[in-house]
Structure 1
Amino acid sequence: MRRGKPTLEAATPKGASDPITAALKEIRDSLASDSSGALATYIPQLAKVDPGLFGLALATMDGRLYKAGDADVPFTLQSVSKPFVYALALADLGLDEVLSRVGVEPSGEAFNAISLEPGSGRPLNPMINAGAILTTSLVRASDPVARFERIRVVLSAFAGRRLEMDEAVFTSELETGDRNRALAWLMRNAGSLRCGVDETLDVYFRQCALLATAADVAVMAATLANGGVNPCTKAVVVPQPVAEHVLAVMASCGMYDSAGEWLLRVGLPAKSGVSGGLVAASPGQFGIGLFSPLLDAGGNSVRAAAASRRLAERFQLHLMHHPGRSAPVITRTGSALTLQSGRRRRRAERDVLQAHGDAIDVRSLQGDIEFAAAEVVLQSLGTVPAGARWRVLDLQGVSRLHPGAARMLDAAVLELGSRGVVVAVGDPHRRGLLPHAAVELPSPEEALEWCEDALLESHGASLAPDAALKPEAHDVLASLDEEARTVLGAAMPAQAWGRGDRVLAADDEVLLLLLSGRLGAYASGQAPDAAARRLGSVGAGTAVSRWRPLDDGRVSPTLVAELPCSGRLLRRVQQERLEREHPRVLARLWRQLASQQE
């Protein structure tokens, strides 16, 4: 388990002006006068709690925390601890081993019912007392003291801060927990409980007496909703499959004999406790913590349950809720005939791309891609235009590609490869989502540029990285007569740059005719590193002028040699001499430069 530094206070929005805090406050205020229900009296210490306490908190996947009412008032977790201890047992032993000892079927009975499987004595699920007691015994430790300490540490990691125990409540439970002792002895007699009864109950009562606030519980729920990663501390508390399994059991069993109606009306995995706490999670979105000590006949907090229902209705949180229409997952289709890569190329290369650009197919994707969206993409990928040999997949707009969807799309990439179609991925985040792609580059433009290079090479139209054009073969100079080329040759001496050198960096450098290598154009002032924004590139046979910028037309970019480069460079003093001595040659040069870039 990796740990991080808690950041709850820094992540808590200030004031109640934001709509989420306002909604929590409004729901709390509308239910605060409901005094129905009763305090838990079978644990004497719980009967002393102020019945008017009522707090709500919501923690997001980004670690922000929203609160209303008594969200910072501590209470003992009681049964709210059960899903988190279950998570620890699953992490220790694995699902199959734990499932062989504790079932996952809803009991349809009260939390303290005698719900044991005939013959084996296996409890029906880990959310009722019998199942929770046995689950506690499964936590790996050398002795009861170490077992409780492990539980406390892990529940603290879920909350993002150290949780302490209420000694008075622990003592009270120890003195009055006869029914739990009876359940433990029944399981011990049946052979399902393999630890001593007293030592197991001592740990169980201690975990129930751990103190937390509604804000803590919201973060604990958010950790489950976030795949086992605490969104505030960034600590990995449990593996993602464990978090998923716990949420599934909470959804079906967390609210005891009210679990079915809860799932019907609220539709969120949840767990209640007799101290008045309630934890609920919206997977991938946020966690909710609530506290109000007045309980209904089933042992669930009256106001916390009502507040959960209103939150679910207001924000449409039900797991079965259809999210509605979304933007198309495929935003752009085309080929190298209609889409530009950002590479400035010589005329011979442009001619080949114009003649054969339909061999490069482009698909741009966007959004949060799960199974249904991935299926749409699969249908698109399966249709390969006649003659297409390369495909660019633009993932720039993909906010998330779910693992299952990624496997589907990567299988499609592999299948395209078997059909002779090479896939290049453009992804600024460099997430490695499609391992079978031939290459992953930082932008869709660079991926298209890579495919263009491959196409040109297949037609023998590309220059080798170390090859250089003769000056008279350069696009700008080729149409000039010998006299003009001689004049310009004298005015524009040969120049060379090593990889990483800046080009046209001095104020007196006006024009470059590139004869070999490649220049990268980066946002003004940026160096070509992982954080720099690459605007395009310049290839051999083309020209770049300080007066014709490559980006948005306002600010000249930073030009950097991405390969060793050579060319002819015109400086300002030579330009001024040409204006005096050879104005017609200079005018023809600018006309050729303009025609090349049309």
Structure 2
Amino acid sequence: MSAALRELHDSLLSEEGGTLATYIPELARVDPALFGLALATLDGRVHAAGDADVPFTLQSISKPFVYARALADLGLEAVLSRVGAEPSGEAFNAISLEPGTGRPSNPMVNAGAILTTSLVSGDGPAARFERIRDTLSAFAGRRLELDEAVLASELETGDRNRALAYLMRNAGALRCEVDEALDVYFRQCALLATAEDVAVMAATLANGGVNPRTKEAVVPGPVAEHVLALMASCGMYDGAGEWLLRVGLPAKSGVSGGIVAVSPGQFGIGLFSPRLDVRGNSVRGVAASRVLAERFQLHLMHYPGRTAPVIARSGDARTLRSRRLRRRAERDVLHQHGGAIHLRALQGDIEFAAAESVLQSLGALPGKARWLVLELEGVTRLHPIAARMLDAAVAELGGRGIAVVTGDVHRRGLLPHASVEHASVEEAQEECEDALLARHGALLSPDTVLAWEAHDAWAALDEEARAALAAALPVRAYGRGERVLAQDGEELFLVLSGRVGLYGPGVRGRRLGSAGPGTAVQRPGQAGGGLVAELSTSGRVLGAAQQERLERERPRVLARLWKWLAGVGRE
């Protein structure tokens, strides 16, 4: 991304249109060649190009962030009663007030910003300004300093803003002294920030009010939403409509040449170039924003095209079974009655439309369904409306006698009405299979010990192989949590009781599968993790020495054993 910003920066250096703001004398002294771009991601990284670290005064870029402070202090209804939310269609400093009330059209024009500033809680103007400075600094992730020279320049030349304030004061809209309101307003406009700071401020709005660098919740999520809505409709003054048409991002400009733009849920953009167009917006900043929006398809109304289906896998236990190795009698029951257990593996960013697809699939569950396994590990985000829809469906399925069991390694509790949440879909499937087997009398109790004659291998071998293996394979017992086949030379374990789990490598290796009585497990390779007794377990062990002796003396017996192992689970 840094390379892309540098390329964009260099491509616009030849654009020298526009003029400096002259009505504030200090702004007319800025180097017109300055040009900086920055983009801040929601994980706190900042990519920059050009003069992105050069400070400039925020001016009107401060407006949405002060509006956020007022909303957080008073609530939307209280602020709306004092400041409107409609585009004015006029210049930023136009005298445009609601007849009779003096209410400004929106908080992004000067009149609305002056009144909004007066709404921020504080014991007097000095305390109110410090609270505003603290808020803007929290958005930026560092303390912002005041440019005293620009402040003095604004105080000297701010007659039009004074006129707006007196008109509002006369109408009863502004309820504090004019000089008090303007002193705080001019100070917030004179705070210094860089394009990198502005990008982080934008990313904080994009991140629901949480600064992605400091992790501080600066304002509540709904406040960030309301601010972005006003930025989208009113942030670029009388050019707001064309901006939304061409760029399609919530944004705010300032006459010092800065622009803040937000891609909600993705990142924030900060731009700085002091030459302005006739609307008071940075010429290079607007051009760069258009290119970014087109190149990276950032427009809010952009249709992203089809995504991967929300249901990655679906089926029942006749075709989609857990990786538990089971004896033939259990497999036969699952093959015959597995239609009672259904699986849906969900994935991606699930919002309303995706949730509707899931509900349609769940509504088609057959009448004989008694268990539903929902795999949620692949769900990157479950939007609130989708969560409510799916959880209501889970509750309704429970009322119909269908137990819903989820598997989610993140343990996020996405569906509170689910019967059980497991750390993996594997464990969720195993639980439902065990319940089905128990219903049909095919599940062995945990303390059952199969006789060698009852092991599945026995039925697959002839008399010679049975006798030879019974003599060659000693019986070994493992306590719960003990590693199985951990000793050198141990190659194969024929399970007679308990349960063995296969785990991936590492201290917290992921559970990959399991084996129950009547089955066999082989020693995993070096990269395959380990076998652990999940219950008190016993069985017969084939070691390397016994294997070599059988290969030498009874190769036919060993061949029959390997043939049985190769065919297990393929029925």
Given candidates 188, 193, 203, the residue that maps to 1:207 is: 188
- Whether 2:538 is the aligned partner of 1:566: answer yes
Residue in 1 that maps onto 2:496: 515
Q: Which residue identity is paired with 1:534? A: R
For 1:60 and 1:508, the matched residues in 2 are separated by 52
**Against the structure 1 CA distance between its residues 267 and 589, is the aligned structure 2 distance closer, same or farther, given a 3 Å change threshold?**
closer
Q: Which residue identity is paired with 1:537? A: S
CA deviation profile, 1:221-247 (whole Å, cap 9, x unmatched): 121112222223333222221111110
CA deviation profile, 1:375-431 (whole Å, cap 9, x unmatched): 222212211134222222223333322222222222222222222222222223332
Give the 3-state SS of the residue equivalent to 1:324 in structure 2. coil
**Against the structure 1 CA distance between its residues 465 and 154, is the aligned structure 2 distance closer, same or farther, given a 3 Å change threshold?**
farther
- Whether 2:512 is the aligned partner of 1:535: answer yes
Give, in angstroms, the shift of residue 453 of structure 1. Answer: 1.5
Identify which range, 331-340 or 486-495, moves more after superposition.
Answer: 486-495
8 A Cα contact 2:146 2:191, kept in partner: yes
Residue in 2 that maps onto 1:342: 323
Residue in 1 that maps onto 2:283: 302
**Against the structure 1 CA distance between its residues 238 and 499, is the aligned structure 2 distance closer, same or farther, given a 3 Å change threshold?**
farther
- Whether 2:248 is the aligned partner of 1:267: answer yes
For 1:260 and 1:584, the matched residues in 2 are separated by 83
8 A Cα contact 1:476 1:596, kept in partner: no
8 A Cα contact 2:464 2:557, kept in partner: no
Residue in 2 that maps onto 1:111: 92
**Against the structure 1 CA distance between its residues 589 and 288, is the aligned structure 2 distance closer, same or farther, given a 3 Å change threshold?**
closer
For 2:416 and 2:233, the matched residues in 1 are separated by 37
Give the CA RMSD over aligned residues: 2.7
Give the 3-state SS of the residue equivalent to 1:106 in structure 2. coil
Identify which range, 142-151 or 218-227, moves more after superposition.
Answer: 142-151
**Against the structure 1 CA distance between its residues 586 and 47, is the aligned structure 2 distance closer, same or farther, given a 3 Å change threshold?**
closer
Given candidates 51, 72, 91, the residue that maps to 2:72 is: 91
8 A Cα contact 2:232 2:240, kept in partner: yes
Give the 3-state SS of the residue equivalent to 1:560 in structure 2. strand
Give the 3-state SS of the residue equivalent to 1:249 in structure 2. helix
Residue in 1 that maps onto 2:229: 248
Given candidates 44, 53, 70, the residue that maps to 1:72 is: 53
8 A Cα contact 1:406 1:433, kept in partner: yes
Give, in angstroms, the shift of residue 484 of structure 1. Answer: 7.6
Give the 3-state SS of the residue equivalent to 1:263 in structure 2. helix
Residue in 2 that maps onto 1:197: 178
Identify which range, 571-580 or 535-544, moves more after superposition.
Answer: 571-580
Give, in angstroms, the shift of residue 353 of structure 1. Answer: 0.4
Q: Kindly report which structure 2 residues correspond to 1:421-432, keeping only aligned pairs within 5 A, or say none.
A: 421-432=402-413
Given candidates 495, 503, 511, the residue that maps to 2:484 is: 503
Q: Which residue identity is paired with 1:169? A: V
Give, in angstroms, the shift of residue 572 of structure 1. Answer: 4.7
Q: Which residue identity is paired with 1:229? A: V
Identify which range, 575-584 or 354-363, moves more after superposition.
Answer: 575-584
8 A Cα contact 1:364 1:395, kept in partner: yes
**Against the structure 1 CA distance between its residues 142 and 501, is the aligned structure 2 distance closer, same or farther, given a 3 Å change threshold?**
farther
Give, in angstroms, the shift of residue 482 of structure 1. Answer: 9.1
Q: Which residue identity is paired with 1:220? A: M
For 1:283 and 1:157, the matched residues in 2 are separated by 19
For 2:241 and 2:460, the matched residues in 1 are separated by 82
Given candidates 395, 417, 422, the residue that maps to 2:398 is: 417
Q: Which residue identity is paired with 1:223? A: T
**Against the structure 1 CA distance between its residues 265 and 584, is the aligned structure 2 distance closer, same or farther, given a 3 Å change threshold?**
closer
**Against the structure 1 CA distance between its residues 375 and 588, is the aligned structure 2 distance closer, same or farther, given a 3 Å change threshold?**
closer
Residue in 2 that maps onto 1:373: 354
8 A Cα contact 2:42 2:203, kept in partner: yes
- Whether 2:117 is the aligned partner of 1:147: answer no
Residue in 1 that maps onto 2:431: 450
Give, in angstroms, the shift of residue 55 of structure 1. Answer: 1.6
8 A Cα contact 1:512 1:543, kept in partner: yes
Give, in angstroms, the shift of residue 351 of structure 1. Answer: 1.0
Give, in angstroms, the shift of residue 88 of structure 1. Answer: 1.6
For 2:190 and 2:115, the matched residues in 1 are separated by 17
Q: Kindly report which structure 2 residues correspond to 1:312-327, keeping only aligned pairs within 5 A, or say none.
A: 312-327=293-308
For 1:468 and 1:494, the matched residues in 2 are separated by 12
Q: Kindly report which structure 2 residues correspond to 1:180-191, keeping only aligned pairs within 5 A, or say none.
A: 180-191=161-172
Residue in 2 that maps onto 1:82: 63
**Against the structure 1 CA distance between its residues 342 and 109, is the aligned structure 2 distance closer, same or farther, given a 3 Å change threshold?**
same
Given candidates 160, 173, 181, the residue that maps to 2:141 is: 160
8 A Cα contact 2:259 2:272, kept in partner: yes
Q: Which residue identity is paired with 2:512? A: L
Residue in 2 that maps onto 1:126: 107
Q: Which residue identity is paired with 2:213? A: C
For 2:226 and 2:386, the matched residues in 1 are separated by 20
For 2:476 and 2:177, the matched residues in 1 are separated by 85
CA deviation profile, 1:544-576 (whole Å, cap 9, x unmatched): 233xx4xxx785540112223233444455666
For 1:195 and 1:368, the matched residues in 2 are separated by 48
CA deviation profile, 1:135-182 (whole Å, cap 9, x unmatched): 222222333333222222221222222211111111221222222223
For 1:112 and 1:225, the matched residues in 2 are separated by 28
Given candidates 152, 156, 181, the residue that maps to 1:175 is: 156
For 1:320 and 1:221, the matched residues in 2 are separated by 19
What number of residue pairs does the alignment pair up? 570
- Whether 2:12 is the aligned partner of 1:31: answer yes
Give, in angstroms, the shift of residue 586 of structure 1. Answer: 6.4
Give, in angstroms, the shift of residue 299 of structure 1. Answer: 1.6
Q: Kindly report which structure 2 residues correspond to 1:423-502, keeping only aligned pairs within 5 A, or say none.
A: 423-477=404-458, 492-502=473-483
**Against the structure 1 CA distance between its residues 198 and 381, is the aligned structure 2 distance closer, same or farther, given a 3 Å change threshold?**
same
Given candidates 243, 261, 281, the residue that maps to 2:262 is: 281
8 A Cα contact 2:57 2:147, kept in partner: yes
- Whether 2:332 is the aligned partner of 1:351: answer yes
TM-score by length of 2: 0.92
Q: Which residue identity is paired with 1:285? A: Q
Give, in angstroms, the shift of residue 466 of structure 1. Answer: 3.7
**Against the structure 1 CA distance between its residues 541 and 106, is the aligned structure 2 distance closer, same or farther, given a 3 Å change threshold?**
same
Give, in angstroms, the shift of residue 512 of structure 1. Answer: 2.3
For 1:591 and 1:262, the matched residues in 2 are separated by 71
For 1:533 and 1:587, the matched residues in 2 are separated by 32
- Whether 2:528 is the aligned partner of 1:545: answer no
Residue in 1 that maps onto 2:382: 401
Structure 2 unaligned residues grouped into runs of 5+ = none
8 A Cα contact 1:361 1:385, kept in partner: no
Structure 1 unaligned residues grouped into runs of 5+ = 1-19
**Against the structure 1 CA distance between its residues 510 and 30, is the aligned structure 2 distance closer, same or farther, given a 3 Å change threshold?**
closer
Identify which range, 183-192 or 278-287, moves more after superposition.
Answer: 183-192
